[in-house]
């Protein structure tokens, strides 16, 4: 099967290629697409040199699946064109996520809602993906009433230029500033753009996307996004209030039975998830599992994942895998 990766030279695009190499997806031709400055250059994949093509040339090849990871502007311009040409587009940008008729998919949670007519499929925001996967079984069994979320997000979520800013600051070098403040040896409560009510676009994504993925607009969500000087992944402190009562063992069992979740929760050994330990892993790690004693049905979780893997590339490739396995593309 032909598969295109649009934006193959970016941070997420390069990880998509690594994940494709890890998964056993039957690819007869991998079509690599990047900006005009990269067209004609080659990337090594599966012991072969593959020439980067223009998006127009990729469109003409009519791949059954195209994974877009080149920003919202390009997705808005080209995703519909590919879809009308018969390609199923899996889009990593925020362009389509909240469109009413576009599915927002984490395969382990709502992959079963997909059908052959879904020609544009949105990949959720990185912070949302890792959180909702950890909450999947908790919501199904005990019905989530309210979430209070604080995220501690890697600079890799902003892109290559943000990583370069941090590394240059670490070396004492001048560089282009992606952030309004120094990021090395610092953190700031700001992700995305500020809105009139004081929240940021990244915080609102957590609220809206959680409700859409769980198909439940009754969940109350409030979030604070913090950018921190790490590159390994995003961390989240999540306070969960449920409608139904539970025992702490019930929460452990719910997490154990969730595909893609690994529990690291041994306080005596100081064993809990950290960004430095989850980098380049596809799973979501959960620890510091404890009751919130200030409310009747409350639980605190610490959730960590590589935002470039499960938070972006891995989830996109898993969607492609689901489409192929369930014969939703041909």
pLDDT tens readout for residues 208-244:
999 999 999 999 999 999 999 999 999 999 999 999 9
What is the pTM assigned to this prediction? 0.97
What pLDDT score was predicted for residue 191? 95
Three-state secondary-structure class, residue 191 = coil
CA distances from 172 to 162, 166, 228 (A): 15, 10, 18
Across the range 281-310, mean pLDDT stands at 98
Radius of gyration of the chain (CA): 20
125-152 in b/e burial notation, b at 16+ Cβ within 10 A? bbbbbbbbbbbbbbbeebebbbbbbebb
Closest CA to 31 of 7, 54, 58, 60: 58
- Cβ-proximal residues to 83 (8 Å cutoff; 6+ apart), any chain: 89, 119, 120
How is domain 2-123+312-325 classified at the architecture level of CATH? 3-Layer(aba) Sandwich (3.40)
- Has residue 295 got a pLDDT over 90? yes
Confidence of residue 24 (pLDDT cuts 50, 70, 90): confident
What pLDDT score was predicted for residue 168? 97
What pLDDT score was predicted for residue 296? 95
Q: List, for residues 90-101, the tens digit of each pLDDT value.
A: 999 999 999 999
How is domain 127-307 classified at the architecture level of CATH? 2-Layer Sandwich (3.30)
Confidence of residue 138 (pLDDT cuts 50, 70, 90): very high
Q: Please say whether the beta carbons of 227 and 187 come within 8 A.
A: yes
Confidence of residue 175 (pLDDT cuts 50, 70, 90): confident
The helix or strand, by DSSP H or E, that contains position 306, with its residue range, turns out to be none
Positions marked active-site: 126, 234
Q: Where are the domains positioned within the chain?
A: 2-123+312-325, 127-307
Across the range 55-81, mean pLDDT stands at 97
What pLDDT score was predicted for residue 42? 96
What pLDDT score was predicted for residue 240? 98
Across the range 163-177, mean pLDDT stands at 95
């Amino acid at each position: 099967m032909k598969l295109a990766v649009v934006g193959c030279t970016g941070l997420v695009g390069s990880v998509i290629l690594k994940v494709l190499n890890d998964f056993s997806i039957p690819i007869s031709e991998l079509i690599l697409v990047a900006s005009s400055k990269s067209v004609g250059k080659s990337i090594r994949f599966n012991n072969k040199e593959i020439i980067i093509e223009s998006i127009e040339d990729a469109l003409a090849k009519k791949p059954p699946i195209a994974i877009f990871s080149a920003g919202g502007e390009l997705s808005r311009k080209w995703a519909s064109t590919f879809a009308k040409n018969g390609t199923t587009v899996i889009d990593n940008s925020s362009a389509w996520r909240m469109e009413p008729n576009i599915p927002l998919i984490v395969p382990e949670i709502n992959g079963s809602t997909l059908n052959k007519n879904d020609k544009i499929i949105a990949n959720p925001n990185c912070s949302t993906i890792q959180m909702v996967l950890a909450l999947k079984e908790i919501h199904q069994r005990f019905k989530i009433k309210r979430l209070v979320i604080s995220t501690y997000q890697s600079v890799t979520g902003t892109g290559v230029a943000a990583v370069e800013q941090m590394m240059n600051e670490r070396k004492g070098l001048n560089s282009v500033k992606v952030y309004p403040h120094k990021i090395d040896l610092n953190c700031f409560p700001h992700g995305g753009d500020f809105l009139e009510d004081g929240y940021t676009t990244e915080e609102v994504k957590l609220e809206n996307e959680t409700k859409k993925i769980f198909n439940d607009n009754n969940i109350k969500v409030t979030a604070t996004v913090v950018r921190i000087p790490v590159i390994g992944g995003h961390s989240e402190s999540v306070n969960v209030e449920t409608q139904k009562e539970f025992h702490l063992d019930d929460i452990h069992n719910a997490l154990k039975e969730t595909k893609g979740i690994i529990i690291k929760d041994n306080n005596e050994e100081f064993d809990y998830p950290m960004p430095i330990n989850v980098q380049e892993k596809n799973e979501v790690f959960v620890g510091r599992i404890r009751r919130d004693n200030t409310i009747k049905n409350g639980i605190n979780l610490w959730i960590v994942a590589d935002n470039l893997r499960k938070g972006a590339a891995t989830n996109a490739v898993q969607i492609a895998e689901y489409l192929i396995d369930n014969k939703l593309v041909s």
